[in-house]
Amino acid sequence: MEASKKDWKLFRDKIGSWQELYMEKLVKEYIAFMNSNLPASIKFWELEKKIEQDKKKPGVILELRKRDMLFDIIRLLNDGVITMDDLSEFTDELRENVKILQA
């Protein structure tokens, strides 16, 4: 499916704020983990591992390509970065395609 101009523009407008909210959520998780009673060495190495994994997720970094937009949206949904409600301004066609591919 080729993304419409409207959907592509909307995606580019929204992705930054979606990622910012997701990274804020990650930071809160990191803080809660760091405030745990675990030994410092465990916290250090576990946090390093978690950040290494998280920094590869679409909620943190994403190479914007129009042809990949639909699959990027599905990855964002699957990772909990966004919900279907976040797609309310997108075209019916895009939302339908997302539902089909997620099923």
Tokens of 4: 């419409």
The residues of the chain scoring below 70 in pLDDT are none
Amino acid 80: pLDDT: 95
Amino acid 103: pLDDT: 75
Amino acid 102: pLDDT: 87
pTM over 0.75: yes
Q: Helix axis angle, 5-34 relative to 40-54, nearest 10°?
A: 170
How crowded is residue 90: how many other Cβ atoms within 10 Å of its Cβ? Answer: 20
